């Protein structure tokens, strides 16, 4: 019992460090974001679901920034090019980002790229040096192509994996910790890396001290609403806005800033519309992911949504303060 409590305290202490990037790193990322007109997100099904991107985009809008944010996440995808036997019941192998990356970059023409990969890349198996090497090679290839396209890459370490929700004879979260540690070590080589894995693992341990059954990921992989907000808050904090990131939920952040819930709804509509059109427009090999709307139609509708979004944030910022009773 004492050992478990000690481990929890250590994780909480570490989370305070993980959640606090250097001031220089915050300034660099904040500057990159403020100067970018087109921001691309790449990732697997967690990114494709996109709630954390919606929250991040809504935060940008609330700051008076209006870049085009494109979610090009693809379910099941890896950067390692690996796929476990019998994936999806044997219907199809995991898609490999390398197969579509050049087309995505050409179509989206981003200034800044956020990429979050890893949870699928270990293939949910114990740590293996060959799989790890494939992941490293895939991340290097991703960085090379993004930079050749004239954009800047920001890597997000993989989210935690909830071993408690899918018990096994090994910890897959520990595998992802090793992947994350390697990514963080690349900061010494000039890579821009935001640590999500460390804070998410530590926050899960902290909450379980009082609620042993708590989880961010009911199926061990895919974050729920609280998990997506934690992901968004991690990005927002990395951009230097600790106050916004301290909110316990997207709803609390909206209330604090007197923003209507409609903001998240409209930003979500815009994101999903553009995501489906851009992912389909670039092409991929993942069955079951398509768009019935052309990129031209999606862009037109997105512009209409953007006007409504900006009117929402503008009206809130211009509304007079309420008088004290």
CA distance 167 to 171: 8
pLDDT the model gives residue 316: 65
CATH superfamily, domain 2-313, is SGNH hydrolase (3.40.50.1110)
Contact 146, 111 (CB under 8 A): no
DSSP assignment of 10-38, as one string? HHHHHHHHHT---HHHHHHHHHHHHH-SE
pLDDT at residue 8 above 60? no
Q: How many residues does the chain have?
A: 325
pLDDT the model gives residue 116: 98
The domain spans of the chain are 2-313
Percent of the chain with pLDDT over 90: 86
Average pLDDT of 100-117?
98
Q: Which helix (H) or strand (E) holds 40?
A: strand 38-43
pLDDT the model gives residue 215: 98
pLDDT the model gives residue 279: 98
Mean confidence (pLDDT) of the chain: 91
CA distance 120 to 222: 11
Average pLDDT of 10-37?
63
pLDDT the model gives residue 28: 86
pLDDT the model gives residue 314: 84
Contact 148, 108 (CB under 8 A): no
Strand partners, 42: 115
The strand ranges marked E within 125-209 are: 152-156, 192-194
Q: Which residues contact 19 (CB under 8 A, 6 or more apart)?
A: 199, 234, 237
pLDDT the model gives residue 12: 41
Quick one: pLDDT band at residue 13, thresholds 50, 70, 90? very low
Question: For 132-170, what is each residue's pLDDT tens digit?
Answer: 999 999 999 999 999 999 999 999 999 999 999 999 999
Question: For 165-195, what is each residue's pLDDT tens digit?
Answer: 999 999 999 999 999 999 999 999 999 999 9
Q: Residue 155: helix, strand or coil by DSSP?
A: strand
Average pLDDT of 77-96?
95
pLDDT the model gives residue 26: 54
Average pLDDT of 99-114?
98
Question: For 284-320, what is each residue's pLDDT tens digit?
Answer: 999 999 999 999 999 999 999 999 999 999 866 554 4
Structure token digits, residue 231 = 């992901």
pTM of the entire predicted model: 0.90
pLDDT the model gives residue 23: 52
pLDDT the model gives residue 322: 41
Average pLDDT of 254-282?
97
CA distance 251 to 264: 9
CA distance 36 to 134: 31
């Amino acid at each position: 019992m004492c050992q478990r409590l000690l481990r929890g305290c250590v994780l909480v202490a570490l989370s305070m460090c993980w959640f606090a990037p250097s001031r220089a790193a915050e300034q660099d990322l904040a500057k990159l974001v403020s100067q970018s007109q087109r921001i691309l997100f790449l990732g697997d099904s967690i990114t494709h679901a996109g709630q954390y991107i919606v929250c991040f985009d809504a935060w940008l809008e609330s700051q008076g920034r209006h870049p085009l944010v494109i979610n090009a996440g693809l379910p099941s995808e890896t950067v390692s090019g690996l796929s476990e036997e019998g994936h999806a019941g044997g219907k199809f192998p995991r898609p490999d980002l390398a197969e579509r990356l050049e087309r995505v970059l050409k179509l989206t023409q981003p200034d800044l790229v956020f990429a979050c990969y890893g949870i699928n890349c270990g293939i949910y198996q114990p740590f293996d040096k060959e799989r790890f090497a494939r992941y490293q090679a895939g991340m290097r290839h991703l960085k090379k192509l993004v930079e050749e396209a004239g954009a800047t890459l920001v890597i997000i370490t993989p989210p935690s994996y909830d071993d408690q929700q899918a018990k096994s004879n090994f910890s897959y979260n520990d595998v992802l910790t090793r992947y994350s540690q390697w990514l963080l070590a690349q900061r010494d080589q000039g890579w821009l890396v935001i640590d999500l894995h460390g804070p998410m693992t530590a926050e899960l341990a902290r909450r379980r001290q009082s609620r042993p059954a708590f989880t961010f990921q009911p199926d061990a992989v895919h974050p729920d609403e609280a998990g997506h907000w934690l992901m968004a808050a991690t990005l927002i904090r990395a951009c230097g806005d600790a106050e916004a990131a301290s909110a316990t939920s997207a709803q609390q952040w909206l209330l604090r800033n007197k923003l209507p819930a409609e903001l998240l709804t409209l930003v979500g509509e815009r994101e999903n519309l553009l995501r489906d059109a851009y992912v389909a427009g670039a092409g991929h090999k993942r069955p079951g992911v398509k768009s019935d709307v052309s990129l031209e139609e999606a862009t037109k509708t997105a512009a209409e949504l953007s006007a409504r979004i900006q009117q929402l944030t503008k009206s809130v910022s211009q509304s007079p303060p309420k008088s004290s009773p």
